Structure 1
């Protein structure tokens, strides 16, 4: 494996560490019941390494990569960072999470970049288009596996015992978007996370997506259609995915203008259908209407009765209906996620 893991364990999220009484994620002192679910994600990783990796990404991503890399010797630099890559019209191309890799033996910047597995090849090609002559190597990481860890009850107990997993854990960090998404765990292929996260079990990936939709968290091209989704309507600012003080990047002009105008009339919101509907009955981009038939937004994606939709904020407290194939409709309700900052029009 190309990356050693000892550095990562020093920054392991507190709730993932094992205590002498095995209470960190064990569901209590008696250890009854799994207190965390580990979900194998359908996401892929690219490794970016080289002297000019930081400036290269800084000109492409919505977030300030210098913060991730500890600009100015900052001791509290984040271990992970959420961001979007936009097209020149300011619409989302790819949603990504960056992971900082630092080893004492390395002088070059080393970053792992997470993306939807379905767009791995196109993202790699996109990056190489803008690479030109920069000293940056971009390679897929087929030797690594990515997991989401969702704890039932957060724990603050700490222990250094996870040092025994050096060589298996590459990255372990809080999800940089919102606390309700738990942690991200990157391991070598074939590693069983249950052996690393005490008191955990392997979860069904459908439950992970239902959790996301219940919280209103978009992820991947189904939720954020390429060339369609706008970053601020997709709550990028709410999920710590954008800097309004960094220098220029592709797609910045429309995004900055929208932010400074201070008016965002539509946002992605979690929705719940009155009855669970099979995917084939919900057309792509299905319209959501008010009681009077006025358009209130569009459905994006979901699992059974849970999903997310781009809705006009002025209509979210009204009775709403989702149009299905064949002219049928189903009632739905929506809610403002508790993790959203206030006021919601910021």
Structure 2
């Protein structure tokens, strides 16, 4: 766990600005998160899904006075802009790239000031800043430091769910405040709601621990001779994996002949019980 406040600029993230009379209804009907009740200076986590219910793009929605910002993966911003333009039709919505920097502040003793907003997924993830100054006393770190920190908490990221590869519930969006099941229709809602209602979630993203370097993405996690999952992203000692829940209980797991163990974060266990 990070013991001192750390500031990291996220070059991997970029912003899109939405405005106009219809921006709230427009976005609310598209994404997995509730936008109708979004307050100014509030951040909510969600996703834009395919009609079949798989994650296209994750996003954070930041409430503003007359619109909102979308905090998205920088490499996909142009594609997201294009998709939003397609969905806009006759809605009175303005959609444009916005160039404020995205940063995070995390670790014990982090004391945010103006421009810092609480990460809606987990309190331990700290704060997200949009054009915010480096807080006094914070250590400036690298993006890989933040990725390792999030992984240590068992929180997956875009490198794990990819594009059109994963159902959001498998990537724990439901446990990390990324899906509002009471909001009504959104793109991909039918499949997402059915998985939740029927309790058919057989696969979840969880960290695996091991000695040495991380296995490569796509390496098989085996329970004896049975395939129990796949490695997603990782670094020395810890990786995120997509795991079959029915095959990992009390099983001796291995990857590339090396023993691994599943790490089940406290927040994960608590959220499943709710």
TM over 0.5: yes
Q: How many residues align?
A: 270
Give the 3-state SS of the residue equivalent to 1:270 in structure 2. strand
Contact 2:5 2:110 in 1 (8 A): no
Alignment match, 2:154 = 216
- C-alpha offsets along residues 213-252 of structure 1, whole Å, 9 cap, x if unaligned? 11121222x2111111111111111111111111211101
Contact 1:316 1:334 in 2 (8 A): no
Alignment match, 1:252 = 189
Aligned equivalent of 1:322, options 255, 264, 269? 255
Aligned equivalent of 1:263, options 200, 205, 213? 200
Deviation at residue 61 of structure 1 after TM alignment: 0.6
Alignment match, 1:55 = 25
Instruction: Give TM-score, length-normalised by structure 2.
Output: 0.91
Q: Which one has the largest radius of gyration?
A: 1
Alignment match, 1:136 = 93
In structure 1, C-alpha distance between the alignment counterparts of 2:211 and 2:137, rounded to whole Å: 35
Unaligned runs of 5+ residues in structure 2 are none
Aligned equivalent of 1:272, options 185, 188, 209? 209
In structure 1, C-alpha distance between the alignment counterparts of 2:211 and 2:117, rounded to whole Å: 36
Contact 1:48 1:111 in 2 (8 A): yes
Contact 1:147 1:185 in 2 (8 A): yes
In structure 2, C-alpha distance between the alignment counterparts of 1:343 and 1:225, rounded to whole Å: 23
Contact 1:214 1:271 in 2 (8 A): no
Alignment match, 2:270 = 342
Deviation at residue 316 of structure 1 after TM alignment: 4.6
Give the 3-state SS of the residue equivalent to 1:342 in structure 2. helix
Matched, 1:172 2:104: no
In structure 2, C-alpha distance between the alignment counterparts of 1:307 and 1:78, rounded to whole Å: 33
In structure 1, C-alpha distance between the alignment counterparts of 2:62 and 2:163, rounded to whole Å: 23
Instruction: Give TM-score, length-normalised by structure 1.
Output: 0.73
Deviation at residue 345 of structure 1 after TM alignment: 6.6
Alignment match, 1:101 = 64
Give the 3-state SS of the residue equivalent to 1:302 in structure 2. strand
